[in-house]
Amino acid sequence: MTLESRRALVSATRPVEVTEGNTFRLIHIGSCSSQADAEGYALLTAWMVRAGGDGEREEAALREGLVIAGWDELDDISDCTTRDQMRARVTEAYPEGPNGRIANWTGQLWRFAQEMRPGDLVVIPLKTRTDQIAIGRVTGRYLYRADAPEGFRHVRPVRWTRTDVPRSDARQDLLHSMGSLLTICALERHGAARRIAVLEAGRPDPGPLPEEVAGDSTPYELLDQAGDTLHGKPLRMSIREMLGEWNASRRTPSVVAKIEADLASKGLTTRPAFTDSWIDTMVELVPLGVEPTGDEPVTDNEADLVDAEELAPLTVVVGSLASANRTVVSVSPTDSLRAATTKMLGQNYSQLAVIDEHGGFHGAVTWESIAKAQLTRNEPALLDARIWAPPVGYQDDLLSHFSLISAQGFVFVQSTDRKTIVGIVTAADLNAEFETRVRPIAKLEEAERRLRRRVGEVVTVAELQRFRRGRPINTVADLTLGQYAYVLDQHFDRLTWPLDKDTVIGQLRAVCDIRNDLMHFTPDPLDATQLNNLDGFVNLLRTVDPRP
């Protein structure tokens, strides 16, 4: 159900005054201890609007019945009816702002001016009274007060119903949601709106329902730690380590979507983007959503920041290969050809990059180019043996460069800013990558073929039809890999395998998980544990039934 649909269904017992003269009736507030009690609360929407980095807008907000956004350089945005219009206005007001910050600020201001609706809950985690939270209801549309002081001009009218809710009444996960670096954000997780409504009624936070937290793997402590580095050294880890914090080992679409949502809700992003780099690339978790407080200079590190909601989609890019991240051995244009050949022989290289002292790329030398130079000149210099080998971009689509790599034998890889060479990809690297990707599929096929043959020998089709899940089973080939676990559970003794039944079924189910994982696109290969489990299961089947 969309946000608009949910709001349209809201009916209630308590009226809320709206500045436009309309009256909205809201849901009765109760203890909500069960799913049935929570059905109405699912229609509520809750927002957090900070009152300044140091709480400088709190007194005015509570006294005047408002929530107030900053963004001093931005004029009236009430006429921005699309996000593109809003982004253009923000860009105009902050021309030096990095694209990632502009995108993030646009999202916050769009929510403030357009997505908030009269009747929505709103909270301010108070800074001047750090042990309390203010809760109210939005009562009117966005307003721009041109005559107000700077920092107090963008407002929404609010009726404050509670301004002294003890933080101790809210459970820690709800407080985590209010710990975002964003000035304006929706509070959606773990039944937040329902629980805030209960706090508004003067009752302690009842906590989330089981279905509201099922499957949540958000590492709140990590995100809090990253947020605490606003004015210090960013938190740094490899993408592989970062995935592990979310209990994942590969960047499947669902894992990436979860991480992006968690980062966005906290006002964080990664530098570089965690979606399009090699899995062992080191990334920093950096704050992005803090509202502007002045003419902050844009640093080189900030220029390439990307908002978490706008990170590049998953694809296999050149930079996702390990070799594209390997230190490149090079020679200088002023080196001798003898120095180059010595280095190539000593390190068993087939080619070297030619890079000057400033990092400028000047092509490459290869054994073939050296041989040609020696055939045409008596004492060739290194530049006589140099060839031009156009580099490819770190974020280029890998498939589009297959033919070039195959024909040339190698390509050098440029950094995302196209200023330096950061790796080399050879035809041998492509072959190794292909083998890494194809081997698990071949092993899965063999495991299924061996199971199908043996089960088909000892279990009848009529018996197999008992395990039907959706589609009909006319032969043993119609079984899915997961269904074999149920067949083995019922008929394991017929297989006459001298193995422990529970262990075999456990391994088979682990293999089913691997198969399901492979069915989701990801730029990452299976990890070592998954490969070992798959190899081990196939070897087990080969041992008990050595037929090819």
- Give me the chain's average pLDDT, please: 85
Average pLDDT over residues 437-458: 91
Distant-in-sequence, close-in-space partners of 183: CB < 8 Å, separation ≥ 6: 49, 50, 69, 70, 108, 289, 290, 291
Q: Which domains does the chain have, with CATH numbers?
A: 3-213 (no CATH), 220-314 (no CATH), 320-419 (3.10.580.10), 430-544 (no CATH)
Closest by alpha carbon to 413, among 435, 428, 398, 432?
A: 398
This model's pTM is above 0.75: no
As given in the structure block, the two tokens for residue 528 are 């070592």
Predicted confidence band of residue 11 (pLDDT cuts 50, 70, 90): very low
Asked whether the beta carbons of 157 and 19 are under 8 A apart, the reply is yes
Following CA atoms 32, 37, 40, 42 in sequence, which dihedral angle do they give, to the nearest 10 degrees? Answer: 70
Helix spans in 385-426 (H):
402-408
Asked whether the beta carbons of 234 and 272 are under 8 A apart, the reply is no
Q: Which pLDDT belongs to residue 22? A: 35
Hey, is 398 helix, strand or coil? coil
Hey, is 304 helix, strand or coil? coil
Q: Which pLDDT belongs to residue 373? A: 94
Each residue's pLDDT tens digit, 59-81: 999 999 999 998 989 999 999 99
Out of 274-288, 302-316, 441-455, least confident range = 302-316
Measured distance CA(276)–CA(320) in Å, rounded:
7
Q: Which pLDDT belongs to residue 230? A: 62
Hey, is 8 helix, strand or coil? helix
Q: Which CA distances in Å does 43 have to 2, 122, 208, 302?
A: 10, 15, 16, 39
Q: Which pLDDT belongs to residue 29? A: 40
Measured distance CA(537)–CA(513) in Å, rounded:
13
Q: Which pLDDT belongs to residue 9? A: 38
Each residue's pLDDT tens digit, 488-545: 999 999 999 999 999 999 999 999 988 888 877 778 888 888 899 999 999 999 999 9
Cis peptide before 272 (omega within 30 of 0): yes
Average pLDDT over residues 233-245: 92
Share of the chain above pLDDT 90, in %: 49
Each residue's pLDDT tens digit, 99-144: 888 889 999 999 999 999 999 999 999 988 888 999 999 999 999 9
Residue 295 above 70 pLDDT?
Answer: no
Each residue's pLDDT tens digit, 373-408: 999 998 899 999 999 988 999 888 888 888 889 888
